Amino acid sequence: MKKWLIPVIVIAVIVFGLYSWAVGFNNTAVEYEADAKTAWADVESSYQRRNDLIGNLVKTVQGAADFERTTLREVIEARAKATSTTIDAGNLTAENMAQFQQAQTGLSGALSKLLVSVERYPELKANQNFLELQAQLEGIENRINVARDRYNEKVNIYDKHTTKFPGKLLAGLFGFEEMPRYKSDPGSENAPDVDFDFD
Protein backbone atom coordinates (compact mmCIF):
# COMPACT_ATOMS: atom_id res chain seq x y z
CA MET A 1 0.00 0.00 0.00
CA LYS A 2 1.33 3.40 -0.93
CA LYS A 3 2.23 5.73 1.97
CA TRP A 4 0.37 8.72 0.56
CA LEU A 5 -2.90 6.73 0.55
CA ILE A 6 -3.13 6.52 4.37
CA PRO A 7 -3.33 10.33 4.93
CA VAL A 8 -5.87 10.63 2.09
CA ILE A 9 -8.07 7.97 3.71
CA VAL A 10 -7.75 9.64 7.13
CA ILE A 11 -8.67 13.04 5.65
CA ALA A 12 -11.60 11.49 3.75
CA VAL A 13 -12.89 9.85 6.94
CA ILE A 14 -12.61 13.15 8.86
CA VAL A 15 -14.36 15.09 6.08
CA PHE A 16 -17.13 12.50 5.90
CA GLY A 17 -17.52 12.59 9.71
CA LEU A 18 -17.76 16.40 9.72
CA TYR A 19 -20.23 16.33 6.82
CA SER A 20 -22.41 13.75 8.59
CA TRP A 21 -22.33 15.79 11.80
CA ALA A 22 -23.30 19.00 9.97
CA VAL A 23 -26.14 17.28 8.11
CA GLY A 24 -27.39 15.69 11.32
CA PHE A 25 -27.26 19.03 13.15
CA ASN A 26 -29.08 20.83 10.34
CA ASN A 27 -31.83 18.25 9.98
CA THR A 28 -32.45 18.14 13.73
CA ALA A 29 -32.53 21.96 13.92
CA VAL A 30 -35.02 22.09 11.03
CA GLU A 31 -37.21 19.53 12.81
CA TYR A 32 -37.10 21.40 16.14
CA GLU A 33 -37.79 24.72 14.42
CA ALA A 34 -40.79 23.23 12.60
CA ASP A 35 -42.11 21.82 15.89
CA ALA A 36 -41.86 25.27 17.50
CA LYS A 37 -43.63 26.91 14.54
CA THR A 38 -46.42 24.34 14.74
CA ALA A 39 -46.74 25.00 18.46
CA TRP A 40 -47.01 28.73 17.67
CA ALA A 41 -49.79 27.97 15.17
CA ASP A 42 -51.62 26.17 18.01
CA VAL A 43 -51.28 29.31 20.16
CA GLU A 44 -52.78 31.45 17.40
CA SER A 45 -55.53 28.90 16.82
CA SER A 46 -56.50 29.03 20.50
CA TYR A 47 -56.59 32.82 20.43
CA GLN A 48 -58.71 32.71 17.26
CA ARG A 49 -61.18 30.41 19.02
CA ARG A 50 -61.35 32.91 21.88
CA ASN A 51 -61.97 35.76 19.44
CA ASP A 52 -64.82 33.80 17.84
CA LEU A 53 -66.38 33.14 21.24
CA ILE A 54 -66.05 36.81 22.20
CA GLY A 55 -67.92 37.78 19.02
CA ASN A 56 -70.81 35.51 20.04
CA LEU A 57 -70.68 36.83 23.59
CA VAL A 58 -70.89 40.43 22.38
CA LYS A 59 -73.95 39.59 20.26
CA THR A 60 -75.63 38.01 23.28
CA VAL A 61 -74.83 40.98 25.51
CA GLN A 62 -76.05 43.46 22.88
CA GLY A 63 -79.51 41.97 23.40
CA ALA A 64 -79.64 43.68 26.80
CA ALA A 65 -80.92 47.05 25.65
CA ASP A 66 -79.56 49.08 28.54
CA PHE A 67 -76.13 47.44 28.70
CA GLU A 68 -73.20 49.88 28.79
CA ARG A 69 -72.41 50.79 25.20
CA THR A 70 -68.94 52.05 26.11
CA THR A 71 -67.95 48.68 27.55
CA LEU A 72 -69.22 46.87 24.47
CA ARG A 73 -67.41 49.27 22.15
CA GLU A 74 -64.14 48.71 24.05
CA VAL A 75 -64.49 44.94 23.64
CA ILE A 76 -65.36 45.23 19.95
CA GLU A 77 -62.40 47.56 19.28
CA ALA A 78 -59.97 45.40 21.28
CA ARG A 79 -61.18 42.29 19.45
CA ALA A 80 -60.66 43.98 16.08
CA LYS A 81 -57.12 44.97 17.07
CA ALA A 82 -56.34 41.49 18.40
CA THR A 83 -57.57 39.75 15.25
CA SER A 84 -55.59 42.10 13.01
CA THR A 85 -52.34 41.47 14.90
CA THR A 86 -50.93 38.16 13.72
CA ILE A 87 -47.42 36.78 13.33
CA ASP A 88 -46.20 34.67 10.47
CA ALA A 89 -44.56 31.58 12.00
CA GLY A 90 -41.48 32.31 9.88
CA ASN A 91 -41.13 35.76 11.44
CA LEU A 92 -41.28 35.06 15.17
CA THR A 93 -39.27 37.95 16.56
CA ALA A 94 -39.32 39.37 20.08
CA GLU A 95 -40.81 42.63 18.74
CA ASN A 96 -43.61 40.88 16.83
CA MET A 97 -44.31 38.67 19.81
CA ALA A 98 -44.57 41.72 22.11
CA GLN A 99 -46.97 43.44 19.69
CA PHE A 100 -49.13 40.32 19.47
CA GLN A 101 -49.14 39.91 23.23
CA GLN A 102 -50.04 43.57 23.78
CA ALA A 103 -53.08 43.23 21.51
CA GLN A 104 -54.21 40.06 23.27
CA THR A 105 -53.72 41.67 26.69
CA GLY A 106 -55.86 44.62 25.61
CA LEU A 107 -58.62 42.22 24.60
CA SER A 108 -58.31 40.29 27.87
CA GLY A 109 -58.67 43.53 29.84
CA ALA A 110 -61.74 44.66 27.88
CA LEU A 111 -63.30 41.19 28.23
CA SER A 112 -62.70 41.20 32.00
CA LYS A 113 -64.40 44.58 32.25
CA LEU A 114 -67.35 43.26 30.25
CA LEU A 115 -67.73 40.18 32.46
CA VAL A 116 -67.58 42.27 35.63
CA SER A 117 -70.21 44.65 34.18
CA VAL A 118 -72.54 41.72 33.55
CA GLU A 119 -72.93 41.35 37.31
CA ARG A 120 -75.33 44.33 37.15
CA TYR A 121 -77.66 42.52 34.75
CA PRO A 122 -79.54 39.60 36.29
CA GLU A 123 -81.24 38.77 32.98
CA LEU A 124 -77.85 38.25 31.34
CA LYS A 125 -76.54 36.20 34.25
CA ALA A 126 -79.58 33.94 33.83
CA ASN A 127 -79.29 33.73 30.02
CA GLN A 128 -78.36 30.14 29.12
CA ASN A 129 -76.53 31.15 25.95
CA PHE A 130 -74.45 33.68 27.89
CA LEU A 131 -73.62 31.12 30.59
CA GLU A 132 -72.50 28.57 27.99
CA LEU A 133 -70.31 31.13 26.23
CA GLN A 134 -68.80 32.20 29.54
CA ALA A 135 -67.98 28.56 30.39
CA GLN A 136 -66.44 28.04 26.93
CA LEU A 137 -64.33 31.18 27.40
CA GLU A 138 -63.00 29.84 30.69
CA GLY A 139 -62.08 26.59 28.94
CA ILE A 140 -60.37 28.37 26.05
CA GLU A 141 -58.31 30.49 28.46
CA ASN A 142 -56.95 27.23 29.88
CA ARG A 143 -56.23 25.95 26.35
CA ILE A 144 -54.41 29.18 25.53
CA ASN A 145 -52.22 28.77 28.59
CA VAL A 146 -51.42 25.15 27.70
CA ALA A 147 -50.66 26.12 24.08
CA ARG A 148 -48.29 28.91 25.19
CA ASP A 149 -46.51 26.51 27.56
CA ARG A 150 -46.11 23.92 24.79
CA TYR A 151 -44.77 26.58 22.44
CA ASN A 152 -42.17 27.61 25.03
CA GLU A 153 -41.18 23.96 25.54
CA LYS A 154 -40.60 23.49 21.79
CA VAL A 155 -38.64 26.75 21.57
CA ASN A 156 -36.52 25.67 24.51
CA ILE A 157 -35.59 22.39 22.77
CA TYR A 158 -34.76 24.24 19.54
CA ASP A 159 -32.75 26.97 21.30
CA LYS A 160 -30.72 24.48 23.34
CA HIS A 161 -29.87 22.57 20.17
CA THR A 162 -28.77 25.69 18.26
CA THR A 163 -26.95 27.55 21.05
CA LYS A 164 -24.93 24.81 22.73
CA PHE A 165 -21.33 24.39 21.60
CA PRO A 166 -20.33 23.18 19.06
CA GLY A 167 -23.76 23.38 17.41
CA LYS A 168 -23.72 27.14 17.80
CA LEU A 169 -20.97 27.31 15.19
CA LEU A 170 -23.14 25.55 12.63
CA ALA A 171 -26.32 27.42 13.62
CA GLY A 172 -24.77 30.68 12.45
CA LEU A 173 -23.59 29.12 9.20
CA PHE A 174 -27.01 27.62 8.45
CA GLY A 175 -28.96 30.74 9.50
CA PHE A 176 -30.67 29.36 12.61
CA GLU A 177 -31.49 32.16 15.05
CA GLU A 178 -32.75 32.09 18.60
CA MET A 179 -36.55 32.04 18.81
CA PRO A 180 -38.45 34.24 21.28
CA ARG A 181 -40.42 32.70 24.11
CA TYR A 182 -43.92 33.73 25.08
CA LYS A 183 -43.54 35.78 28.27
CA SER A 184 -46.10 36.68 30.88
CA ASP A 185 -47.59 40.14 30.79
CA PRO A 186 -45.76 42.81 32.79
CA GLY A 187 -47.30 42.98 36.27
CA SER A 188 -48.99 39.57 35.97
CA GLU A 189 -47.03 38.40 38.99
CA ASN A 190 -49.26 40.68 41.09
CA ALA A 191 -52.77 39.60 42.07
CA PRO A 192 -55.43 41.54 40.14
CA ASP A 193 -57.41 44.19 41.98
CA VAL A 194 -61.06 43.43 41.24
CA ASP A 195 -63.63 45.97 42.37
CA PHE A 196 -67.20 44.73 42.57
CA ASP A 197 -68.54 47.99 44.06
CA PHE A 198 -71.26 49.14 41.66
CA ASP A 199 -72.56 52.06 43.73
So what's the architecture of 5-174 in CATH? Up-down Bundle (1.20)
CA 47, CA 33: separation in Å to the nearest integer?
Answer: 21
Q: Following CA atoms 82, 59, 74, 116 in sequence, which dihedral angle do they give, to the nearest 10 degrees?
A: -110
User: Which phi and psi angles does 38 have, rounded to 5°?
Assistant: -65, -40
- Residue 139: how many CB atoms within 10 A of its CB? 13
For the chain, the domains span: 5-174
> Could you read off the pLDDT tens digit of each residue along the chain, which spans 199 residues?
677 788 888 899 999 999 999 999 999 999 999 999 999 999 999 999 999 998 888 888 877 656 677 888 888 899 998 888 888 777 888 888 888 988 999 999 898 888 888 888 777 777 888 888 888 998 999 999 999 999 999 999 999 999 998 889 899 888 899 999 988 766 554 444 434 343 3
CA 85, CA 82: separation in Å to the nearest integer?
Answer: 5
DSSP string of 20-60?
A: HHHHHHHHHHHHHHHHHHHHHHHHHHHHHHHHHHHHHHHHH
Q: What is the pTM of this model?
A: 0.78
